[in-house]
Amino acid sequence: SEEKKEKILYDLAELNTYLSSGTIKGINVFGRAISLFENGGYLIIDDLENHFNHEIVSTLIRFFTDKIVNPHGATLIFSTHYSELLEHIERNDCIYIVENKDRITITPLNKRMQRNDENKVQSFKSGLIGNTAPSYEAYIQLKKSIIKKVETKP
């Protein structure tokens, strides 16, 4: 087998040629997290699950909640569209629900769920906590609109 030559990059933009977007994001996020574990601080990530598989996201959340890995109390602040990630967070007062109903509201989860041992994922999926997904009616309207557009194309 042919040995691969070591690559030396002089421009960070070249990383996209050799590494996946998930690997690049992983290097960046975990590098910053390690720095925060040493000193404390905040890491803010929008759509945490983008470019990461579930296990990588779970690992990152577990690192932030582990007092041995994170002795200085670094804080991970993230948004997500996947309620399944809530299974990794024990306390309801650490989770906030953002909704847009005529105006944007932010509600601590512990105002809607009193007990930490309740199944957060099932509560979201059943709509008990609030419907954060588009409505079925909106889905049907979009589907009909697409079908009409496709059918009328010459």
* Residue 36 and residue 75 in one domain: yes
Same domain, 2 and 76: yes
Query: Are β-strands 75-78 and 96-100 bridged in parallel, bridged antiparallel, or unpaired?
Result: unpaired
- Picking from 81, 115, 138, the residue at the C-terminal end of a domain is 81
32 and 75 housed in the same domain: yes
Q: Is the same domain home to 30 and 15?
A: yes
Read off the pLDDT of each residue in 65-74 and give the average, rounded to a whole number: 93
Q: Which of 57, 81, 105 is the last residue of a domain?
A: 81
Query: With 70 as the cut, is the pLDDT of residue 153 above it?
Result: no
Overall average pLDDT of the 132-140 stretch: 66
Q: Which residue has the higher pLDDT, 130 or 144?
A: 144
Residues 29-46 have pLDDT tens digits of 888 999 999 999 999 999
Positive/negative CA dihedral, 130, 134, 139, 140: positive
Amino acid at 89: I
Of 58, 81, 104, the one marking the end of a domain is 81
Do 5 and 71 fall within a single domain?
yes
* pLDDT averaged over every residue in the chain: 78
Q: Stretch 89-93: mean pLDDT, rounded?
A: 75
Q: Are 54 and 108 part of one and the same domain?
A: no
In this structure, the answer to whether residues 64 and 111 fall within a common structural domain is no
Residue 106 clears pLDDT 60, i.e. is over it: yes
Residues 97 and 153 in one domain: yes
Give the pLDDT confidence score for residue 136 in this predicted structure. Answer: 66
- Give the Cα separation of 112 and 108 in Å (integer): 8
Q: Tell me which residue range forms the domain holding 141.
A: 82-154
Quickly list DSSP for 66-83: -TTT-TT--EEEE--S-G
How many domains does one find in the chain?
2
Mean pLDDT along residues 3-15: 73
Residue 33: the pLDDT is: 92
Same domain, 40 and 111: no
Q: Are the beta carbons of 116 and 92 closer than 8 angstroms?
A: yes
% helix / strand / coil in the chain, to the nearest 5? 45, 10, 40
Pairing of strands 75-78, 42-45: parallel
For range 108-136, the mean pLDDT: 62
Query: What pLDDT is recorded for position 125?
Result: 56
67 and 88 housed in the same domain: no
Q: Between vectors from CA 53 to CA 51 and to CA 54, what angle results, nearest 5°?
A: 135
Q: Is residue 129 over pLDDT 60?
A: no
- Whether residues 143 and 98 share a domain: the answer is yes
CB 86 within 8 A of CB 124: yes
Give the closest residue to 60 by CA, choosing from 38, 40, 43, 83. 43
- Same domain? For 60 and 3 the reply is yes
Confidence of residue 21 (pLDDT cuts 50, 70, 90): confident
Are 84 and 54 spatial neighbours (Cβ–Cβ below 8 Å)?
A: yes
The overall longest dimension of the chain from CA atoms, in Å, is 64
